Amino acid sequence: MREYTERIREAAKRLLSEQRVDTVIGFRRGTVPFMNEPFLVKSVDQVDQLYWDSNCGINLANYLPKRTDRVAVVAKGCDSRNIVVHLLENQIKRDQLYILGAPCRGMVDKRRMMADLKGKEPLHAEENGKEIKVSGRGFQVTFDRQTYLQSNCAICTHRNPVVYDELLGDPVEEQQGVDRYPDVRRIEAMSVDERWRYFQELIAPCIRCYACRNACPLCYCPTCFVDESRPQWVGKTIDPTDTLTFHFLRAYHVAGRCTDCGSCERACPVGIEVRKFTKKLEKEVKELYGYEAGVTPDQRPPLDTFKPGDPEPFIK
């Protein structure tokens, strides 16, 4: 990870001083353990703030739509797939972008480490290859990085950027034989009543802060359906009907576009596994159209195109 930090800084310095780009989007080191801050570098003297470690789970493709400058962006496998989606949806132009591809071994799950600390507060965290050393008042714990990967990273099959201008390191081995959907199948196997209860319990803590939506690179609509006010479409209370409407509709809006980057789940302040919704639709799109979002820059998303050869078994 330290090598990436050095390479990002080197590339940013080079690109800015050669005037290849106007700005660089990366991360700077966070002020609290397991957190880093998305950061826009505008000049060479800010370059040394750029930083990389296993806490860069926020998807930087989220910061690209509507940019008018020439921008370099650090992109993990998932971020690069979201860049592809942006390109397909005309949210940014390829010639504006300089993609610093970051072959990725996965980001770590803050929430699971916190849970295993059982109330002890981490004050420092230092990463050392395969281990994360965490310390606080009167304790020191070592976490195995691989064991504490974000759940989306643990089942990721696109760790290497699919589009880039230069790579920050050698490509990493892709994970083989991954079963991406055991949890979705469990939900599918439930009875209708069980499933309804499951969804209601899943979203019960939701406070309608929209962190999941706003952390998502796909949610760039000028006005989200929940924010329509003339007339209003969706109630704004924390009544389960309103809240489920928001989560279900959001999931449908990202069907065939979601790259399972996990930003939504990472951003949620109350720990809701919002990917349970999006993964179901990812699975459907894969089964119905054989399509994975953001992998092929020249293939339009299945829900905004028509092909006579689509399997379409749902049309009887």
Q: Which residues bind other proteins (CB under 8 A)?
A: 30-32, 35-40, 58, 62-63, 111, 115, 119, 121, 123, 136-137, 205, 207-211, 213-215, 227, 229, 232, 235-239, 266-271
Which CB, 13 or 208, lies closer to other proteins?
208
- CB of 29 or CB of 300, closer to other proteins: 29
Q: How far is the CB of 66 from other proteins (least distance, A)?
A: 11
Three-state SS across the chain? CHHHHHHHHHHHHHHHHCCCCCEEEEEEECCCCCCEEEEEECCHHHHHHEECCCCCCCCHHHHCCCCCCCEEEEECHHHHHHHHHHHHCCCCCHHHEEEEECCCCCCECHHHHHHHCCCCCCCEEEEECCEEEEEECCEEEEEECHHHECHHHHCCCCCCCCCCCEECCCCCCCCCCCCCCHHHHHHHCCCHHHHHHHHHHHHCCCCCCCHHHHCCCCCCCCCCHHHCECCECCCCCCCHHHHHHHHHHHHHHCCCCCCCCCHHHHHCCCCCCCHHHHHHHHHHHHHHHCCCCCCCCCCCCHHHCCCCCCCCCCCC
Q: How far is the CB of 46 from other proteins (least distance, A)?
A: 9
> Measured from the CB of residue 209, what is the shortest distance to other proteins in angstroms?
4
Instruction: State the nearest-atom distance from the C-beta of 52 to other proteins, in Å.
Output: 14
CB of 312 to other proteins, least distance (A): 36
Q: Which is nearer to other proteins, 242 or 284 (by Cβ)?
A: 242
In the complex with other proteins, the residue whose CB is nearer, 137 or 316, is 137
Which of 190, 270 has the CB closer to other proteins? 270
Nearer to other proteins, 87 or 226 (CB): 226
CB of 123 to other proteins, least distance (A): 5
